[in-house]
Structure 1
């Protein structure tokens, strides 16, 4: 089920979903895509346009139990996809309004869904659309979107800013705890402020495991626009252009594209700090490749390079499938009552702490 309607978003459900991917050995084991010839646009480019989705059951980061195994067995694929259908059936049952919060409902196999449905402002299963199939790339059912050997981000250089910080969050510098700083709205995560959900819009563009993993690609002679359902962001890729030479860092970075045969190659730099990917941003360059491999498949791969953070470039890949529908507006701020309450709660907590300290001083 694809839900493309007006709705607010539970920020807490999305914050943990940005991760990295890697181009490596398994990419070469996929079936070659050279046999398919993409149709052309009116101005002669390979046609990659239209409505696409990257929703999938395959996680971005490989589960450790699979080790270096990049491909699921047929039995594992069947079990995963059958379980998803069971969860859809269970989740679409009528909800008992008298049931206690977090009462067992048959969906306990996915803790992330429990969090999304059980927390204040969360959704039940009927509102979620994580994907119903394992991701196939060249026909291979992948165990992760990462394509490093172990399907996980490589270790950061010792002494790099990202390694010292542990992991750069959307809150940026000055975060004072696991949930960030509550001093003012600009210290809150971008998704909580309804500015963007960086994992979906990218680069790199990653499914979030919950909903709205849908895109609309529009081509012109001089640019390619990628509309993202999540917060209706639009990335504009300038074709055959030069990167900016100043230090201005626009949202989504500065994307420049070129055609190499049937593949659109997009290089993005000037990525802002609040869109840091796996802790890297200052010297981060992300190179994406879009190739139409079949009428109903668009292969997407990317390479991540940040010499100050990693010794070698790395990346990942997956395949878009057609979206059975169109993209509607994602209305976020209009219904986001959480942010004022979050900041007001922080001020109340500060006043209570100050009052407690004052009382303690008086007693001493």
Structure 2
């Protein structure tokens, strides 16, 4: 069993923390480095916690122990003589060595969090009942059927290696919001007086945040949206609008506005929060918090090779074109 640590509440004052933070020559907190947001804490609150935002230390220890035990079991050598999965699931081909779900429970402002969502109090996304489908990819699927996705234009953004996006959970590592996924949960932050760049390990997506600038016109949209930022004392506040129409997070649409806050609390932790505001998708804006943990000194992010050496998508497309040709000319 691996050793683990439950965070101890700090006894020093906020002023002392602020004074000890690493800072840039301009006096701003120095966010530069490599961070991870892997955690056992889910986005939405499990039903058993009700409206409890925090769990006890004993509950947190138990959850972390279960996560570590599962990791130990998953890392055991695979039996080469084992039978194939009885449920037909071949997607879980990796053992846990290759995954990166983390084992820590979020510990923020002295609380072991039961969910990332802190507002509304029930820890759930306040979806608007009867809201229209705003995900362009889903609308295309409804309009054209699954066969349309056998062409390169309709393949999902993940299949095209443009951005990582999990259609089952609406999670995106590059964001915004920047959510933990099954692996590659590392980020590199580069910071100057006028820009902050956040590079996500998954598919090496880099988001350039202009500081103290206006948003571009709504006609200009791009992957990960148009992000501007400013410093509110020692907190970096980022506003993002005009996400690409093929991006949808938790039912959001073109009117989504995401406000992120990065609050450095120590050399090794940044409290990252985000607020999702889309009146079409939600009955009210909702807010979540998580922690970015500094990776050990000396670690680096390697380039994520997505399509390099990948013959699956070209094979699928080529096979479909061949089938189309055969159907058009049966002789």
TM more than 0.5 = yes
8 Å contact 1:172–1:274 — kept in the other structure?
Answer: no
Q: Please, which of 126, 151, 164 is the counterpart of residue 132 of structure 2?
A: 164
How many residues are matched?
306
Q: Does 1:247 align with 2:219?
A: yes
Q: As a proportion of its length, which structure holds more helix?
A: 1
SS in 1 for 2:17: coil
- SS of residue matched to 1:289: strand
CA contact (8 A) 1:33 1:138 kept: no
1:330 to 282, 304, 314: 304
Per the TM alignment, residue 98 of structure 1 is displaced from its structure 2 partner at its CA by 1.7
Runs ≥4 in structure 1, deviation > 4 angstroms?
31-35, 177-181, 341-352
Write the distance in 2 (CA, Å) between the matches of 1:94 and 1:313.
Answer: 46
Q: Which stretch of structure 1 is more off in the superposition, 213-222 or 311-320?
A: 311-320
Q: Distance in 2 between matches of 1:345 and 1:63?
A: 44
Q: 1:345 to 1:237 in 2, by over 3 A?
A: same
Partner of residue 41, structure 1: 24
Contact between 1:272 and 1:281, CA under 8 Å: does it hold in 2? no
Higher relative contact order (CA 8 A, sep 6+): 1
Provide the residue aligned with 1:93 in structure 2. 76
After superposition, the C-alpha distances for 1:98-132 in whole angstroms (9 at most, x for unaligned) are: 211237xxxxxxxxxx99xx525832222111101
Change (3 A) 1:154 1:195: same
Q: Structure 2: which 5+ residue stretches go unaligned? A: 1-11, 166-171
Structure 1 residue corresponding to 2:253, chosen from 271, 281, 284:
281
RMSD over aligned CA atoms reads: 2.9
Give the alignment's TM-score, normalised by structure 1. 0.76
Partner of 1:108: none
Q: How far does the alpha carbon of each residue in 1:59-115 deviate from its partner, in whole angstroms, 9 at most, with x for none?
A: 112222322122223332222211222122222222111211237xxxxxxxxxx99
**TM-score, with structure 2 as normaliser:** 0.83
Instruction: Extract unaligned runs of 5+ from structure 1.
Output: 1-30, 104-113, 359-364
